[in-house]
Amino acid sequence: MADTLDNCSVLIFQQITELKKENFNLKLRIYFLEERMQQEFDGPTEHVYKTNIELKVEVESLKRELHEREQLLIKASKAVESLAEGGGSEIQRVKEDARKKVQQVEDLLTKKICLLEGDVKAAQAELEKAFAGTEREKALRLSLESQLSEMKKMHEGNLEMAVVLEEKDRLIEELRLSLKSKEALIQCLKEEKSQMASPDENVSSRELQRLSAAQKEEKERESEAAQVEHQKERNHFKERIQALQEDLREKEREIATEKKNSLKRDKAIQGLTMALKSKEKEVEGLNAEIEELSAAFAEAREASQKTQTPKFQESEDYQAALTEKEAQLAKLQSENLTKTTENNRLRRNIKKVTQELSDLQQEKERLERDLEEAYREGSKGARSTHDLKNEIEKLRNEVNEREKAMENHYKNLLSESNKKLHSQEQVIKHLTESASQKDLMLQKFSEKDLGAIQQNCYLMTAEDLKFGSKGLITEKCSSEQSPGCKLIFSEGKLQSDYEELIQVLKKEQDIYTHLVKSLQDSDSVNNLEAELSDIFALRKQLERDVLTYRNLQKALEEQISEIRRREEEPFSFYSDQTSYLSICLEEHDRFQVEHFSQEELKKKVSDLIQLVKELYTDNQHLKKTIFDLSCMGFQGNGRLESTEQIEVRRNILVVMR
């Protein structure tokens, strides 16, 4: 027996050395294969090939171990046969050793199964945590998308607020310019009034100064109040913009933290998958050991039946123990199958979770790309709108300056016309007074003083004709009405002088009636009112053009907001913007805004600028014609206009209309 055991030990030692050599050779082959695979495949499939190679190596090693154990069992059976021949005590000892080994194997298997159950429970808990994390990440993603849409809407509202602020700045600037123009007008009126020396005019100039000072103070108060209110609104908008920027930074920080958490979850899931794979390998190894042990027990039972049936009757107990162990092994195998099915289910769940996480990661990356594209589009649109705003602001300032210049010119023309009408009224008043005085003088004086009176009247009428436009008739008549001068003329000379005086009086009466008719006819006043109505009509037309231009600007800003809002639909963008432009533009048949691009919109803006320039040239031409007519109608120094000039002016106005 000792010789057989020595031979077995020598054989086992030789087999172990051979196995070590084979193991070394296999390790070298695996190393070279891995190096080759790493050189050929550096992509994401490297892990798959590595696991495949590891599984193949493990299968081969398990096959080799199975073969070795079969050989060992054969040798053990031979040894059992030899021992059976040697005696029953040796067989009993071998049975006890085999039973102990089986018990040890059972204990090890139960412990490993308990450990595997604990690992499976931990993996389930980790999977539940991963599911909860994915749900939280989904909810957070939805909340971030909603907050992003709200931030975009608030950014659009901020753009509208900026437009309102610019409009208010423009209104304040217009009020200041109008105040300056009115101050200049008041200063001109003061200078004109200061040149006049009469006490009534001094009183009126003081009243005008007082009124102008009151108007100036009122305008200053209004402008200061508007400026204060505008400053308050601007500060409020600035604070709101800063708060929104802080919210945006906070959201970006939250997104960064969520990215880090998602990366940590991915790493944890990868670790769990690796742990599950290792546990599955352990389970497979245990299954292989169980199968080997069952095969060894079956072979041992067959060998014992062949060798011990004629000799031992106690083999029935051994068989019963073996059947019991087989039942336990079958139970363990069934439990192992349930665990493997549960592991497969967990693997499927892990794959599903990893797929959902990859989908969420792709969705997050897509949202980040969309956000970056939206920012880029917003920056491009902001630059284009900035250029358009600069052009619009330049055009607006130019139109406002020209409107103010035109308004000042028309105010000056109106003031000059009022002055000339006032001078005409003064001339008419002086003429009426001189006529009444002459009638009284003719009725008062007798025929004895007729010569002196006729001479005085002749001198008076000559000087009246000379200074009639200056309003000095009454002073000259009063200075020349001294009845003390008495000259003697012949009766023929007196008669001729009397006739000349009557003719002069008739001429003065004709001039007076003509002036009264011209004032009562109200053609000149109507002509002035018609000119002013034409001027206001032109101004309204310019305001309408500027309004259309502002509407076009608003449409462009809405287009930019649509670019930001519709970043996922780039091809339907340009067709949707035609509705905004068709609403903003008044002449639908003229523009037909369909499928406009930004270049076409810029072209339309340049066309609108050209149209405004043409309107301005027409306005300048009209101002020039009105100025020429006013120069033709009013030729200074208080000279009266004739009926022919009135008719010519009326015809020219009709032609202009």
Given a contact cutoff of 8 angstroms between Cβ atoms, the answer to whether 423 and 192 are in contact is no
Q: Give 16-38 pLDDT, tens digit per residue.
A: 777 777 777 777 777 777 776 66
- In this prediction, what percent of the chain has a pLDDT beyond 70? 49
Q: What is the model's pLDDT at position 635? A: 45
Residue 22, pLDDT score:
77
Q: What is the pLDDT of residue 274?
A: 79
Q: How confident is the model at residue 656 (pLDDT cuts 50, 70, 90)?
A: very low
User: Which amino acid does the sequence have at 595?
Assistant: H
Higher pLDDT, 319 or 249: 249
Residue 109: Cβ-neighbour burial (10 angstroms; 0-12, 13-18, 19+)? buried
Query: Which pLDDT band, with edges at 50, 70 and 90, does 531 fall under?
Result: low
Contacts (Cβ under 8 Å, ≥6 apart) of 226: 168, 171, 172, 175
Q: Given a cut of 50, is residue 643 above it in pLDDT?
A: no
384 closest CA partner among 182, 199, 130, 561: 561
Least confident of 90-99, 235-244, 320-329, 472-481: 472-481
pLDDT at 621: 72
Q: What confidence category does residue 628 fall into, taking pLDDT thresholds of 50, 70 and 90? A: low
pLDDT at 570: 44
Domain residue ranges in the chain: 115-280+304-416, 522-657
Stronger pLDDT, 173 or 535, i.e. the higher one: 173
Mean pLDDT of 346-355: 75
Distance CA 251, CA 245 (A): 10
- Taking each helix axis from N to C end, the angle separating 199-308 and 88-194, rounded to the nearest 10 degrees, works out to 170
CB 593, CB 606: distance < 8 Å: no
**pLDDT number for residue 591:** 42
Please tell me the distance from the alpha carbon of residue 128 to that of residue 383, in angstroms, as a whole number: 50
Q: Which of 21-35, 340-354, 522-536 has the lowest mean pLDDT?
A: 522-536
- Percent of the chain topping pLDDT 90: 0
| Phi/psi at 507 (5° precision) | -60, -40
Task: Determine the pLDDT at residue 459.
Answer: 44
Question: Taking Cα atoms as reference points, which of 426, 598, 648, 382 lies closest to residue 519?
Answer: 426
What is the largest distance, in Å, between two alpha-carbon atoms of the chain?
203
Which of these, 105, 153, 562, 474, lies nearest to 291 by C-alpha position?
Answer: 105
Q: What pLDDT sits at residue 6?
A: 62
How does pLDDT run across 558-612, given as a tens digit for each residue? 777 777 676 555 434 334 444 444 444 444 444 444 455 666 766 776 777 777 6
Rounded Cα distance, 410 and 532, in Å: 8
**Which residues have a Cβ under 8 Å from the Cβ of 202 and sit 6 or more positions away?**
196
pLDDT digits (tens, 9 = 90+) for 262-308: 777 777 777 777 777 777 777 777 777 777 776 776 776 676 666 65
- Whether residue 325 is predicted with pLDDT greater than 60 in this model: the reply is yes
The residue with tokens 């079956």 is: 298
pLDDT per residue over 106-162, tens digit each?
777 777 777 777 777 777 777 777 777 777 777 877 877 777 777 777 767 666 776
> Which band of pLDDT confidence, cut at 50, 70 and 90, is reported for residue 4?
low
What's the whole-number mean pLDDT along residues 620-644? 54
**In the structure encoding, which two tokens stand for residue 340, read together?**
């493997």
CB atoms within 10 A of CB 624: 10
Burial profile 325-359: b = 16 or more Cβ within 10 angstroms, e = fewer: beeebeebeeebeebeeebeebeebbeebbebbee
Averaged pLDDT score across all residues of the chain? 66
Phi, psi of 547, deg, nearest 5: -65, -45
- At 174-225, the pLDDT tens digits run 777 877 777 777 777 767 666 654 444 454 556 656 666 776 677 677 777 7
626 — pLDDT class (breaks 50, 70, 90): low
b/e 57-70 (16+ beta carbons within 10 angstroms → b): eeeeeeeeeeeebe
Which residues neighbour 361 within 8 Å (Cβ) at sequence distance 6 or greater?
262, 266
* Residues 124/346, Cβ–Cβ less than 8 Å: yes
pLDDT tens column, 491-527: 555 566 666 667 766 666 666 566 555 555 555 556 6
